[in-house]
Amino acid sequence: MAYDKFNILTSTAVPLPIENVDTDQIIPARFLKAIERVGFGDNLFRDWRYNSDNTPKKDFVLNNPTYSGKILVGGKNFGSGSSREHAAWAVYDYGFRCVVSSFFADIFKNNCLNIGVLPVQVSPGFLEKMFTAIIGDPKTEIEVNLPEQTITILPTGEKESFDISSYKKDNLTNGFDDIDYLLNIKSDIKEFAASLPL
């Protein structure tokens, strides 16, 4: 599915300093029943965000008007568990375009890249600096520069580089997806399939 191109993102950020945030927290299974990709942002972190009577939980960060922005900063091992792309959709649909953590689960990371959400893996030390800066001043702006592959805490100028494959970087900056690539090599695929021994 086509998505907006990603280049340089400058935004305030929302801190979620919890480790092992799994995809059942990001979007509980009972909200996976849609047959179209709409409205998932409403249920992002549903059970951390709302009480059972649907009133907002005041102590959860998404209900705290002090914090906002297009960058979500999470603790180590973000997105573990289920392969549900609905988790990445919920993150995107809520309005985040970038998730920062010191470690990501594989499938969640792939899912993000496939829908135009940039997962940025930073060192544990830099993640701590980000939490300190954002919680100290929620107006702290963060710059995520995809072409340069850097992330900067703007008020302090602290900066770190991050990794991304040149192929995925190219896709994100141009808004391409893998299917566009694969459809172009369909004859190679058919030839390969015909050559399989079994």
- Residue ranges binding other proteins (CB under 8 A): 1, 17-20, 22, 24-25, 28-30, 32-37, 47, 52, 75-77, 80-86, 88, 103-107, 110-111, 114-115, 165-168, 177-179, 181-183, 185-186, 188-189, 192-193, 196-198
Decide whether 77 or 132 has the Cβ nearer to other proteins: 77
Task: Say how far apart CA 90 and CA 193 lie, in whole Å.
Answer: 36
Beta carbon nearer to other proteins, 81 or 138: 81
Q: Which is nearer to other proteins, 154 or 179 (CB)?
A: 179
- Count how many Cα atoms sit within 13 Å of the Cα of residue 26 in the half-sphere of its side chain: 28
- Least separation in angstroms between residue 196's CB and other proteins is 8
Distant-in-sequence, close-in-space partners of 188: CB < 8 Å, separation ≥ 6? none
Q: How far is the CB of 161 from other proteins (least distance, A)?
A: 16
Tell the smallest beta-carbon distance from residue 123 to other proteins (Å). 16
For 13, 22, 132, the CA distances from 79, given in Å and listed in that order, are 18, 5, 22
d(Cα 152, Cα 113) in Å, to the nearest integer?
Answer: 21
Nearer to other proteins, 136 or 196 (CB): 196
Nearer to other proteins, 52 or 65 (CB): 52
Contact 152, 8 (CB under 8 A): no
Count of CB atoms situated within 10 Å of the CB of 73: 27
User: Tokens in use for 96?
Assistant: 């985040």
- Provide the minimum distance between the beta carbon of 164 and other proteins in the complex, in angstroms, as a whole number: 10
3-state secondary structure of 148: coil
CB of 125 to other proteins, least distance (A): 14
